[in-house]
Amino acid sequence: MLSPLRRTIAYVFRRPFTVMIPRETLELPDGYRGIHEINTDTCIGCGLCGKICPNKAIDYVFPEGKNPYDPKNFRLRRPAIDLGHCMFCALCEEVCPTNSIKLTKEFQLYGKKRIDLIRLPYELESRKEKRKEYSRDERAKMLISTELISRISPEVKQIEEKWRKVTISYYNGEISEEEYKSAIAKIESEYLEKLREVGIL
Amino acid sequence: MKEEELLSERGKEVKLEISPEEIRSLSSKLLKERHQFLGITAVDFPRENKIELIYHFASLEDSTFIWARLELNRESPEVPTISDIYPGADWHEREAYDLFGVIFTGREELKRILLPDDWIGHPLRKDYSGDEYDWQSQTKEFYYPFGTVKEKIKEEDGVFYLHVGPQHPVTHGLWRLQLKVRGDTILEGTPDIGYIHCGIEKLCEGLNYEQIVPLSERICYGSGMSWSMLYVLGVESLLGVEPPERAQYIRTIVLELQRITSHLLWLGAFCPDLGTYHSMLLYAIREREKFLDIFERITGGRLLYNYPRIGGVSRDIDDRTIEKIKETLKDLESHLEEYEDILDKNEFFLVRTKGVGVLRGEEAIRWGLTGPCLRAAGFKYDVRKNSPYLLYADLDFEIPVYKEGDVYSRYRVRIEEMRESSKIINQLIDEIPKGEYRKKVNLRNVEGEIAFRTEDPRGESMVYILAKGGEKPHRVKFRSPAYMNLSALRRMLPGHKVADMAAIVGSIDLCMGEVDR
Amino acid sequence: MTLQDLLIYLPRFVLTSILILLIFSVDLIMIIWFERKLIGRIHHRRSITETGPFGLLQNIADFIKLMVKEDLIPKKANRIIHDLTPPLIAFSGILPLALIPFSSEIYVSNPENSLLLVLAICSISPFFVLLAGIGSGSKYPVIGGFRAALQMVSYEIPLVLSALGVVMLSGTFNLMEIVRSQVENTWYLFLQPLGFFIFLSSSIMENERSPFDIPEAESELVAGWRTEFSSIKFGLIMGSEYMKMFVNSALVTLLYLGGWDGPLLPEIFWFLLKVHLIIFLFIWIRVTLMRLRMDQLLKLSWNYLIPLSLLNLLLTIVEKVMIGA
């Protein structure tokens, strides 16, 4: 009985092994699997990362003003990542043919709403100076063409469908630009409202 | 009989085709010849209108591994039970009923185990849609999620029921233990599981072979590596792929590191169960932390590694990491001595663990104990020795065996195993050959069937993969050692005091992620 | 007692009561801080650091938190018992302070049989514990309550029997007199090492601290008899645990360690120092050893402690006769 007592009291005279985070920091090793960064210039929009992702946390957004449904524009798509669904397995990093997507040492992830955890490729840009900031509303509008939001709450599926129809008919030349813009604005405001209602935004 | 000829071939993988009636005679014969029952794998073939049941048995003496396959009609799948011969099969039969609707005759009531009692349909059947069970209507009323709470339990004189869990310090996860108690003595202990069932086997059917790797390690939070490695080794032997030698070395090293981490986590969780004021928890976690740092260096993750790949490993190991592993192992050695000082020389610890929760001899086989629990019961059985995989055939290590089969010997086995693992790593670490660490493997069109066994830190784990072409498997089944060790609680608990429940439950090293899958 | 006596006695009574309560309540907070810090360091971690210097104010923060928390009462609980037991337990914890002398000057009252009274008051609290367990209306507290009662059966006898050795040596039940006879001769620790050991281990049992924290066994009974108490009720019960610990350590100090006996420094300092040394011992044992099982505790007590304390009595008689001769 005495030897355990001796062993335990010895620790009082040693320095504690705990680390005072955040005042002290631990160094992360290279190759740590944290939040992604994407080089949007070298990315060729091949779609392999979205295909390999086990959690389907990657879907693609298109630059503003480009028709997402035109096969010609497929190379312009860039991966948006739902970090809330991501399991940081780094399969996307492995599969990328141009090494455009990489997992960094950054690991702190927080947000007040679900939409905060969905990141656009331009926000994850690997070159810091090119990184863009998006407000929640802007981000939601960009994500309307993806499935990232409708998989969190299926209620918005119909609105996304409407948006799709309008967009396709506009690019097919069935409706004029003014009609398109007013229709899109209406759909988008409805969309944002719905998202606020379900608590994503 | 055909079986006898096949059984005479020792040390091989034997595949038997039997009719449903033969299973009882076969299993009682296998029990006599000291075979461990490993599990029942059910596979649904909607097109052929049949359900296949595969019973796996493994010999405790050599590497004989027996498949007993029987075919059942899909509409009325009925098969005689073996749960009176192998009580450990009880939960497997309930699982097969739960997920496939196979009826086992001749046994006591067949209840669902992983899903709620009022569930409709059998989810692992291929034509299951999931629409039958209406969550909305269920959740509106007061909802008893699982098991027997719903039934009004009659309390006799002096006998009452004590519900341990789902939230209770000793459960180490989410499950419920229903104790029937007279005074302070346990008369019956019935575990109730399924609280965190997440259908990993069903999910696997919708993913392709590469995507299953990160999923499979989510089975167990204590030793993710051993599960993803198990899956990868299974797929590799299915394809007949020989990974590069460097990869094999690295794999063996990380597996043993994982074993040490898992045992340390167990040690840390076990001692507070006995009532130390968490001092051993902190000491063991501190050591584990150093190993997690190594894992972080090697794989990029601390808990979930996603490291093994079909045909190799995802990253190479560098010299600094090797140095670090050596240092940490040296450290571990001195700390293990310290743990022994604190625990083995502590009369209070010995009094609480010796002679408690005894399960040994034939009973241990019948209840399907594996891993440290079985070795503590006096059986020198370790898959690493019996049917070696990776590099274990050429390695020099001992299997610690204790005879008593009680909580104390389980603790001793795990401590010794940490030493042996450290010995294994030290043998390999300096001799990692140069070269490739990963090989490209074509996973386009996989066909075949495999059951691969490894020695998990908790016992013998097995993966069954049935591939019928295409990019996705037809059926993946994970055999979890903790599942059967937990079911053996029903044998271990009766006769003990309520206070011993904590020690016994702690000693079997539970991981609920693995039990519920 | 004449009016004049009363006029002299009353202000003294009030002043010493306030002084003792003040020392005690500050000390209580410090003991809890000390325990948390020491356990942290033994665990090889830092423990509380953030609130105040070295986390000194953490306990006050926790106390405020407990005050403002919701008081949850289970449906099946007996409301009166549930409300009444925590204050009663705390009361039985603090009452012995009226009888324990802190130094030869500082004491509230000094009746003839103060040791007997203190032991009697200390043995009340298991009844309240049993009551609290039954009144909570759920299973774990009931088991905890009965365990507390069983535990009392096992510690009470060796506790009193070993204290009897001291009484025989000093020839009095008065704590002041016991200390005085130690100051004059030698500490009873040296004359009664066996009695000291028995009294100490029985004290740990009385405190329900590891390795004898059977009634509240965290890993088995969640929190034992106190499972259903929340908010300030829990605070009172928590506090009373430390009060009991203080009282028990004070008893050990008075009976075996010569009370306030010590050179140079003021008496109160020596007294508190010894009390805290015993408390340190309690904490040290708590973090290291495992909890015993109920039947093992009974076995330990009836098979070993009681025979040993009887042996101790016998030895004391021999000692007494030899000294007398």
The pLDDT assigned to B260 comes to: 92
* Long-range CB pairs of B207-210, under 8 A, 24+ apart, other chains included: B207/A54, B207/B472, B208/B443, B208/B471, B208/B472, B209/B235, B209/B310, B209/B443, B209/B446, B209/B471, B209/B472, B209/B473, B210/A52, B210/A91, B210/B309, B210/B310, B210/B443
Instruction: Please report where in the chains the tokens 């004059």 appear, as a residue.
Output: C184
- Strand partners of residue B478: B463
pLDDT tens readout for residues C134-150: 888 888 888 888 888 88
Res. B206 pLDDT band, cuts 50 70 90: confident
The pLDDT assigned to B136 comes to: 59
Single-letter code of the amino acid located at C165: G
Give the 3-state secondary structure of residue C286.
helix
The total of other beta-carbon atoms located within 10 Å of residue A168's CB is: 14
Task: Check A12 against C288: CB less than 8 A apart.
Answer: no
Q: Which residues of A touch B297 (CB under 8 A)?
A: 29, 31
Q: Does A113 touch chain B (CB under 8 A)?
A: no
- C40, C45, C287 ranked by CB distance to A8: nearest: C287
- A4, A17, A18 ranked by CB distance to C288: nearest: A4
Contact of B421 with B372, CB cutoff 8 Å: no
The total of other beta-carbon atoms located within 10 Å of residue B33's CB is: 12
- A1, A4, A11 ranked by CB distance to C41: nearest: A11
Q: What subunits make at least 3 CB pairs under 8 angstroms with C? A: A, B
Single-letter code of the amino acid located at B95: E
Domain boundaries, chain A: 29-198
The residue among B105, B128, B151 that closes a domain is: B105
Q: Which residues of C touch A11 (CB under 8 A)?
A: 41-44
pLDDT tens readout for residues B136-150: 555 444 444 444 444
As a whole number of angstroms, the distance between CA B357 and CA B404 comes to: 10
Which of A9, A21, A24 to mutate to probe the C interface, most C CBs <10 Å?
Answer: A9
The pLDDT assigned to B153 comes to: 55
> Who contacts B260 (Cβ-Cβ below 8 Å, separation ≥6)?
B291, B332, B418, B421, B422
Q: Where are the beta strands (DSSP E) in chain C?
A: none
Contact of B30 with B12, CB cutoff 8 Å: no
Contact of A107 with A35, CB cutoff 8 Å: yes
The total of other beta-carbon atoms located within 10 Å of residue C57's CB is: 15
Q: How near does any CA of chain B get to the CA of C62, in Å?
A: 20
The pLDDT assigned to A76 comes to: 86
Q: What is the mean pLDDT of residues B125-131?
A: 82
DSSP string of B114-174, one letter each residue: SS-TT--S-TTSTT--S-SS-HHHHHHS----SGGGSSPPP--TTEEEEEE-SS-TTSSSS
Same domain, B288 and B436: yes
As a whole number of angstroms, the distance between CA B395 and CA B255 comes to: 14
Q: Which residues of B touch A17 (CB under 8 A)?
A: 286, 289
Give the 3-state secondary structure of residue B275.
coil
Q: Does B111 touch chain C (CB under 8 A)?
A: no
Same domain, B62 and B204: no
C162's tokens: 């070993």
Domain encompassing residue B90:
2-105
pLDDT above 70 as % of chain B: 93
- Strand partners of residue B57: B37, B66
Which of A89, A92, A95, A103 to mutate to probe the B interface, most B CBs <10 Å?
Answer: A89
The residue among B86, B105, B124 that closes a domain is: B105
Same domain, B205 and B99: no
DSSP string of chain A, one letter each residue: -HHHHHHHHHGGGS------TTTS-PPPPTT---SEEE-TTT-----HHHHH-TT--EEEE--TTS-TT-GGGGGG-EEEEETTT-----HHHHH-TT--EEE-S------SSGGGGEE-TTTSBSSGGG-----HHHHHHHGGGSSTTTTT-GGGHHHHHHHHHHHHHHHTTSS-HHHHHHHHHHHHHHHHHHHHHHT--
Contact of A152 with A114, CB cutoff 8 Å: yes
List the single residue in A with minimal CA-CA distance to C288: A5
List the single residue in C with minimal CA-CA distance to B167: C222
As a whole number of angstroms, the distance between CA C45 and CA A14 comes to: 10
Residues of A with CB under 8 A from a CB of C: 1, 4-5, 7-9, 11-12, 14, 16-18, 20
Which of B135, B208, B287, B346 to mutate to probe the A interface, most A CBs <10 Å?
Answer: B346
Q: Is the predicted pLDDT of residue C41 greater than 80, yes or no?
A: yes
Q: Is the predicted pLDDT of residue B151 greater than 70, yes or no?
A: no
B485's tokens: 């060790």
Task: Check B352 against C294: CB less than 8 A apart.
Answer: no
As a whole number of angstroms, the distance between CA B466 and CA B446 comes to: 9
The pLDDT assigned to B464 comes to: 92
C12's tokens: 């003294």
Half-sphere exposure for C318 (CA within 13 Å, toward CB)? 8
A132 phi and psi angles, rounded to 5 deg: -110, 155
Res. C181 pLDDT band, cuts 50 70 90: confident
- CA quadruple B405, B411, B413, B419: dihedral, nearest 10: -170
Q: What is the mean pLDDT of residues C45-72?
A: 87
B178: left (phi over 0), alpha (psi -120 to 50) or beta: beta
Q: Is the predicted pLDDT of residue B7 greater than 60, yes or no?
A: no
Give the 3-state secondary structure of residue B380.
coil
Q: What is the ipTM of this complex?
A: 0.86
Q: Which residues of C touch A16 (CB under 8 A)?
A: 40-41, 44-46
The pLDDT assigned to B141 comes to: 44
Q: Which residues of B touch A16 (CB under 8 A)?
A: none
Q: What is the CATH number of the domain that holds B293?
A: 1.10.645.10
As a whole number of angstroms, the distance between CA A80 and CA A50 comes to: 9
Contact of A80 with A121, CB cutoff 8 Å: yes
Q: Which residues of B touch A103 (CB under 8 A)?
A: 300
Task: Check C41 against A12: CB less than 8 A apart.
Answer: yes
pLDDT tens readout for residues A143-197: 888 888 888 888 888 888 888 888 888 888 888 888 888 888 888 888 888 888 8
CATH of domain A29-198: 3.30.70.20
Give the 3-state secondary structure of residue C146.
helix
Task: Check C287 against A16: CB less than 8 A apart.
Answer: no
Q: What subunits make at least 3 CB pairs under 8 angstroms with B? A: A, C
The pLDDT assigned to B148 comes to: 44
Instruction: Please report where in the chains the tokens 């959740």 appear, as a residue.
Output: B139
The pLDDT assigned to B156 comes to: 65
Q: What is the mean pLDDT of residues A132-144?
A: 84
pLDDT tens readout for residues C292-315: 888 888 888 889 989 998 998 888
Q: In what order do the strands lie in the sheet with B35-45?
A: B13-17, B65-73, B50-59, B35-45
The pLDDT assigned to B6 comes to: 54
Q: Is the predicted pLDDT of residue B346 greater than 70, yes or no?
A: yes
Say if B156 falls within a structural domain.
no
Q: Does B278 touch chain C (CB under 8 A)?
A: yes
pLDDT tens readout for residues B403-421: 888 899 999 999 999 999 9
Contact of B190 with B455, CB cutoff 8 Å: no
pLDDT above 90 as % of chain C: 1
B295's tokens: 């894992």
The residue among B105, B121, B147 that closes a domain is: B105
Q: Is the predicted pLDDT of residue A126 greater than 50, yes or no?
A: yes
Q: Is the predicted pLDDT of residue B14 greater than 80, yes or no?
A: yes
CA distances from B303 to A91, B223, B224 (A): 17, 8, 7
C274's tokens: 């010894």
Q: Is the predicted pLDDT of residue B505 greater than 60, yes or no?
A: yes
The pLDDT assigned to B261 comes to: 92
Q: Are strands B50-59 and B35-45 parallel, antiparallel or unpaired?
A: antiparallel
CA angle B285, B289, B290 (to 5 degrees): 130
Q: What is the CATH number of the domain that holds B46?
A: 3.30.460.80
Q: Determine which helix (DSSP H) or strand (DSSP E) holds B459, and give its type and residue range.
A: strand B459-468
The total of other beta-carbon atoms located within 10 Å of residue C317's CB is: 12
Tally of domains in chain B: 2
Task: Check B214 against A8: CB less than 8 A apart.
Answer: no
Q: Which residues of C touch B271 (CB under 8 A)?
A: 290
Instruction: Please report where in the chains the tokens 């798509």 appear, as a residue.
Output: A77
> Who contacts A82 (Cβ-Cβ below 8 Å, separation ≥6)?
A57, A58, A59, A117, A118, A148, A152
pLDDT tens readout for residues C196-236: 889 988 888 888 887 888 888 777 888 888 888 888 888 88
The total of other beta-carbon atoms located within 10 Å of residue B362's CB is: 11
Instruction: Please report where in the chains the tokens 């330990």 appear, as a residue.
Output: C300
Say if B180 falls within a structural domain.
no
DSSP state of B61: S
The pLDDT assigned to B140 comes to: 43
> Who contacts B126 (Cβ-Cβ below 8 Å, separation ≥6)?
B44, B46
As a whole number of angstroms, the distance between CA C9 and CA B177 comes to: 61
Same domain, B274 and B385: yes
